[in-house]
Each structure stands twice: as C-alpha cells, then as structure tokens.
Homo-oligomer: A and B are copies of this chain.
Amino acid sequence: MNVGRQMTRVTVQDVARQAGVHSSTVSRALNPETRHRLTKEVVERILAVSKDLGYVPNGAAAMLRTQRSKIIGVILPDMTNPVFPPILDGIDHVLDEAEYVAMVANTGKTADHEHLVVERFLGRQVDGLLLAAFSDDHTIEMCAKRRVPVIMLNRGDQRQRVSSIVSDNRLGLSIAVNHLVSLGHRRIGYISGPTGVSTGKLRLEGFKAEMARHGLDADAVAMASAFTREAALNPARALLDRFRDLTAVVAANDLLALGLYDELKSRGLRCPSDISVVGHNDMLFADVLMPPLTTVRIRHREMGEHAARMLLHRIRDNLESIVDIVLKPELVVRESTAAPRV
C-alpha cells in the first residue's frame, strides 16, 4: 500500500516510470482486452505498481480519447412517484454489472426543463438515454440528430422514432373493467390521467373499448391534470357528484386511486361496500392501503432492466432498428373491490 499523500494525481505516466515501461504499455496492461498481448511478467509488475501508487484512471481523458463515456442518462418526471424507484433500481442493476454508471435527473413537468436537462446530459457525453418522462417531440428530435441512442420507458413515442418498452395499457384497463363487470358492476366510472402522454391516452381507450365490449356506457369519465394523488380530487368530486349511480370507479393509476380514497373518506363513503375501486400499476404499498387496493400489476423493476439491457445492446452493436417491447400486466385482486350492493 501506498504511503504519503500524493497531492498530485497519479497518472499512467507515473505508473509507467515506476514500472520501467512506456505509458502505452501501462494502458494495455490495465485494459483486460489488450492485456493478453503483453508478457505475463510485465502485466503483473504494472498491476502491482499501479495498485501501490493508488492509480485511478482518469475517466475524462479516456472519454475524450475514445469518444465513449460509459454513462447513461436517465430522465424521470418525478422520483417521488413510487413507480419510478423500482424502475431505477432495475436500471441501476443492469448498468452496474456492465460497469456503466447512471446520471439521473428529474424534469418536473415542463418540456423546456426536460429539454435543458437532455442538453446538459448530451454535453456530458452520455452514451445513451433512458427517457421515462414526458418526452416532447423536440427532445426526441434533438437526440435523433445527435444520433444518441434512446429508449423510452413506460411511455411510447407516437411517431415510432425511438424504441420503447411499455406495459400493455389497453390490456391493463380491459382487465380492470372486466374484473368489475364479472363482479356484477354495470355503472363504472373512470378517472383518467392526462391524455397528452401515451399512458393516459391508451388507458382511456382501453377503458372505453372494454366498456363498449360489454355494452356499457362509458360516459362517467373525468380527467385529472396529473398522475398524482392530489390531482385526483377534482375528477373524483366531479364523478361522485354527477353520477350518483356509480358502483365502481377505475383510476388510471394507483396514485389517482389513492386520491379517490381520500375523497371517498371525506364523504363518508366506504370502499368497497359503497364503491369499488381499481387502480393501475401495483405500486409499492398498494397492498397496505386502507383498504388494500385491487390493481393491475406492472413489473417495474423488470421494465427497468429490460430497458437498460436494450440500450446497452444498441450502443454496443450500433443497431438502428426500432422495436417496441410490450409487457403484459396482470390483475391483482385485493379488498377494494366487491360485488355491488343490490
């Protein structure tokens, strides 16, 4: 082990001098890919010296030289939304194994800020981008122009310019409605998320389609301005005020379902005896809500893993093909749904 605090950074040159070789030889010895081209003896000596000196390669220099950073940018709309931590966890896991690192940023809700963050990441030389956010057109164009590999996560690109990995949102809503119908519900409401993003749009379509398939009216629909607990209040009120005969409500995600719970509670309505509720996502703690929430499960961690793997694959093999992976969700029945009272 090294003694003495070297104030000045240790470089390949230092290692080379100490080992009595040229710096390029050190570089080769340190790289597992090229190591075999050297004498075993030399490699060992270099490795020993480099450890002894406490050498740490300077990533910036390598980056500049190789034009590859082994950094992946991950852009989320809002980390405090509980669907994202498991996604991030899955991403981290895959990147970690591949010796990549993740740069992570929240983008709030504005396209401008998203744009700024993406630009900042591109300037930091990310090798690829995982977009779980909003993702406005401008952003996607920018990445395309710079030829930066991008995978969209949890949301799809309407114009099919980039690969994506999503849950089958129409199917998810079809499953949810179907469950309620099979319990005997006929008057079913829907709290929709913003339809500007694919998740919101497809789930609403899924709801309407499945209602139609059962010959039911899909008139009790109210829009939330965001996929948050708070944003559910207004649509929940609208629904409950205007459609007195509803026996069940589907929410476009679990956070909206939770906001609906809040409103039910403040009106003294009981779930599921007065109103059945179905969510979507099976977010963390959906099973310990009051009551435990019946919902549609997405495997978020796997989604993150898949996305990261796809991206690395694209980077390494320089693929250009665009694919959409659609994961199939499944129903999780808990205590927020029951047969309607007669």
A50 to chain B, nearest CB (A): 13
Given contacts A60-B125, A290-B288, contact A80 B71 (CB under 8 A): no
Q: Is A319 an interface residue (CB 8 A)?
A: no
Q: Using Cβ atoms and an 8 Å threshold, which residues of chain B touch A146?
A: 56
The answer on a CB contact under 8 Å between B85 and A123 is no
Given contacts A58-B64, A85-B80, contact A92 B105 (CB under 8 A): yes
User: Once the chains are docked, how many angstroms separate the CA of A57 from the CA of B284?
Assistant: 40
Considering only CB atoms, which chain B residue lies closest to A261 in the complex?
Answer: B288
Q: Is A183 an interface residue (CB 8 A)?
A: no
Q: Is A82 an interface residue (CB 8 A)?
A: yes
Chain A interface size, as a band, is 35 or more
Given contacts A285-B289, A288-B261, contact A125 B64 (CB under 8 A): no
User: Once the chains are docked, how many angstroms separate the CA of A101 from the CA of B103?
Assistant: 7
A189 to chain B, nearest CB (A): 21
User: Once the chains are docked, how many angstroms separate the CA of A119 from the CA of B101?
Assistant: 12
Q: Is A323 an interface residue (CB 8 A)?
A: no
The answer on a CB contact under 8 Å between A120 and B99 is yes
Q: Using Cβ atoms and an 8 Å threshold, which residues of chain B touch A105?
A: 92, 96, 101-102
User: Once the chains are docked, how many angstroms separate the CA of A79 from the CA of B80?
Assistant: 11
The answer on a CB contact under 8 Å between B86 and A122 is no
Instruction: Point out which of A79, A86, A93 has the most chain B C-beta atoms below 10 A from its C-beta.
Output: A79
Q: Is A340 an interface residue (CB 8 A)?
A: no
Q: Which of A70-117 contact B (CB under 8 A)?
A: 71, 78-80, 82, 84-86, 88-89, 92-93, 96, 99, 101-106, 117
The answer on a CB contact under 8 Å between B92 and A106 is yes
The answer on a CB contact under 8 Å between A288 and B258 is yes
Q: Is A207 an interface residue (CB 8 A)?
A: no
Q: Is A194 an interface residue (CB 8 A)?
A: no
Contact of A85 among B79, B92, B124, B145 (CB under 8 A): B79
Q: Is A190 an interface residue (CB 8 A)?
A: no
| Copies of this subunit | 2
User: Once the chains are docked, how many angstroms separate the CA of A85 from the CA of B61?
Assistant: 33
A268 to chain B, nearest CB (A): 16
The answer on a CB contact under 8 Å between B290 and A58 is no
Q: Is A21 an interface residue (CB 8 A)?
A: no
Q: Is A341 an interface residue (CB 8 A)?
A: no
Q: Using Cβ atoms and an 8 Å threshold, which residues of chain B touch A71?
A: 103, 124
Q: Using Cβ atoms and an 8 Å threshold, which residues of chain B touch A59?
A: 123-125
Considering only CB atoms, which chain B residue lies closest to A74 in the complex?
Answer: B104
Q: Using Cβ atoms and an 8 Å threshold, which residues of chain B touch A54?
A: 145
Considering only CB atoms, which chain B residue lies closest to A76 in the complex?
Answer: B92
Q: Using Cβ atoms and an 8 Å threshold, which residues of chain B touch A104?
A: 88, 92, 102-104
Interface residues of A (CB under 8 A from B): 5, 7, 54, 56-61, 63-64, 69, 71, 78-80, 82, 84-86, 88-89, 92-93, 96, 99, 101-106, 117, 119-125, 145-147, 258, 261, 284-285, 288-292
| A–B complex contacts, Cβ < 8 Å, 17 sampled | A5-B145, A58-B123, A60-B60, A71-B103, A78-B89, A79-B85, A80-B86, A82-B285, A89-B106, A92-B106, A93-B106, A101-B120, A103-B103, A104-B104, A285-B285, A288-B289, A289-B290
